[in-house]
Each structure stands twice: as structure tokens, then as C-alpha cells.
Structure 1
Amino acid sequence: MKSTTRGTLAAVITGVAAAVGAAAPAAAVGTVPVAVPLEGAEQALGMELPQLGGQIPLPTPGKPEGPQYVEGRLIPERTLPQLPVAGGLPGAGLRAPLPHVLGDRFDHVGLSTPASDLRTLAPGLDLDAPLTPPSADNGGLPGPKLPEAGVLAPVLQTVPGADLGTGPGL
């Protein structure tokens, strides 16, 4: 292999390793921080602009509970199981300059909504056949009955929060 080819290959491998290493902490946390760069606009306009940032959650699907066989039914419960998904609500942070409206000790107003956990279950389906299980009273044959169908309602669970405050400095 030529030395230029080896150098290019080493640079590519180093870049891939750096990208994987940078993505691992973000995936472990469950959110990806997002910053909105406004420094260039501050310099161009010659004024202090708000600082703005956020967090985008990474949804992770879970393992669904499979169908459960119940005595007396031909079709198992939870024919279409509910899929759990864990993720979060996005977070945001805003700090804006406040020109001493509330006194000399108050230079900014800040609003923070941290990313919060969100657990969900997708809707599911529960069916039962229009036949009873085979019985000895009926000669080992199933008997007729009304069919059953039900929708398992989706579940959404979270606790969002926010913080509003003022203080010195930006």
C-alpha cells in the first residue's frame, strides 16, 4: 500500500472513531444538546441578544409484552401487543438581557424548561374468536359465542417543568 493511501485510511479511521466517541455520551444521556449561535448577530447589530439553546430527546423503543394465553380463550390476550417507547419532551433555555427595569441587581430574565422523561405505550388490540374452547359436554367440539374485540388505550406519562427567574449578569 502506498504511504498516501495509508495516510488517507488512517485519517478516515481517526475521523470515524472521533465521531463514534462524540456520539456515545449523547446517546447515553438520552438527549442531544442544540445551541443557537447568535454571537455573529450580536456583533453585527452591536447589541446584546438573548442566549438560546435546547435539548432534543432520543426515543428508544422497548420490548413489547407478548400475547398471554388465558384458559377459556382460543386466541391469546393482547393479540397486537402495545409497544413501549421511552424518550422525552424537548427542553429549552432562554436568557435575555433586562435593562435594569426591576432595579440594579436584575440584569437578565431567564426561562428554562429542562427535558423531561416521557414513557408511552402504543395502542394495542385484543380479540377473541366467536367459538368457545372444545368441551366434553359438546362432544369435544367448540360452541358458538359472540366475538369479542377491544382496543387497548395508549398510555402517555410525563412530568414537565419550567423555571422562570431574574438575576445579575447574562
Structure 2
Amino acid sequence: MKPTTRGTFAAVVTGVAAVMGAAAATPAVAAETVPVAVPLDGVERALNLQTPKIAGELPVPMPGGPAGPRHVEGRMLPERVVPQLPVGAGLPGADLRAPLPHLLGHGFEHLGVDAPASALSTLTPGLSVDAPLTAPNPDHFGLPGVKAPQAAVLGPLLKTVPAANVGMGAGA
């Protein structure tokens, strides 16, 4: 093979390897939550008793694209001068299992709380204003008319549906 052919082949193989590596790394980067475990094994061994099992999930906030200003017929200024920015994340999740040494009788050996991470979507506050002039009026030789100025604050939005399960049962 010529040196130029070898160089081109090496560049193509390197590019393919980079694309394959990026494709393999994408799911880890695009994770919505990060698992968090609380290590209590050392306490359990040192004190020779059963400790609670605690784990959680922390959400990773993901900003979205803002809905920019849009023109509305009859207004001089566009609507939503300061656009609202959507941010998607989640509420943290928790999983807790605490041992109960037969306090409530046989069959109740642990207390468990499971609160999975739940989706949370938000919109930041925004601003919409309108000038104290109307659109050009053909009856007034194309000059705009006068009207009361308008201003509106677009309130923030918060949407979520949290859930949790509490239960007791057998087993550790």
C-alpha cells in the first residue's frame, strides 16, 4: 500500500473508533438520575447489628430551548419579550429499608419506604409588554393610534406527580 492510502485508512479507522466510542458513552451522559448509595456496611460490622439500607437518586437538570418572542397581529412589539426557559429534572428519589426486630410480631421484620424519583418540569418567569401605540391605521394616513400600555408577568410553572410507598413485611 502507498503511504497516502495507509494514512487515509488510518484516519477512517480512527474516525470510526471515535464514533463508536461516543455512541457507547452517550447513555451514561444522558442519564436523568444519578444513583446514590449510603454505605453503612462498616457500621453494621463494627457494632454487630443490622443497619438500615439507604439509597437514593438525584436528578440531573436538563435545560430546554426557550420559546422565543412571536409576532401577534395588532401588536407593535412581539409577545414574550423575555421568554420562559423550560428546565426538566426530577424530584430526588429515596429507598429506605429499616430492620424491625419482631416489634410487631412475626411476619413484620422490616419497614420500607420507597419514593422513586419523579419527573419535574418547570418554566421560569417571563415578561410580555406592548407599546402604547396601535398598529398603523390606514384611516389616519398610516399613523399608529394611542392606547394604554400593557405589561404582563408570565408566572413560573411547576408540574410534577410525586409518589411514595410505605410498607412492612418479612425479610431483611
| TM-score range for the pair, normalised by the shorter chain length | 0.7 to 0.9
Q: Secondary structure at the match of 2:135?
A: coil
For structure 1, list consecutive stretches of 5 or more residues without a partner in the other structure: 1-16
Q: Secondary structure at the match of 1:41?
A: helix
1:104 to 96, 101, 106: 106
2:57 to 55, 58, 65: 55
The equivalent residue for 1:81 is: 83
The equivalent residue for 1:138 is: 140
Q: State how far apart, in whole Å, the 2-side matches of 1:29 and 1:136 are.
A: 57
Give the Å deviation of 1:61. Answer: 1.0
Q: Secondary structure at the match of 2:46?
A: helix
Q: Which amino acid aligns with 1:39?
A: D
Q: Which amino acid aligns with 1:155?
A: L
For structure 2, list consecutive stretches of 5 or more residues without a partner in the other structure: 1-20
Q: State how far apart, in whole Å, the 2-side matches of 1:150 and 1:61 are.
A: 24
Q: Secondary structure at the match of 1:42?
A: helix
Say whether the 8 Å CA contact 1:26–1:32 is kept in structure 2: no
The equivalent residue for 1:113 is: 115
Aligned length: 150
Q: State how far apart, in whole Å, the 1-side matches of 2:31 and 2:120 are.
A: 14
Q: Which amino acid aligns with 1:65?
A: A
Higher strand fraction: Structure 1 or Structure 2? 2
Q: Which amino acid aligns with 2:79?
A: E
The equivalent residue for 2:73 is: 71
Q: What TM-score, normalized to structure 1? A: 0.83
Q: State how far apart, in whole Å, the 1-side matches of 2:49 and 2:103 are.
A: 17
Q: State how far apart, in whole Å, the 2-side matches of 1:70 and 1:166 are.
A: 58
Q: Which amino acid aligns with 1:30?
A: E
Give the Å deviation of 1:144. Answer: 1.7
Q: State how far apart, in whole Å, the 2-side matches of 1:141 and 1:95 are.
A: 73
Q: State how far apart, in whole Å, the 1-side matches of 2:27 and 2:68 are.
A: 32
Alignment root-mean-square deviation, CA: 1.5
Q: Which amino acid aligns with 1:165?
A: G
Give the Å deviation of 1:26. Answer: 4.4
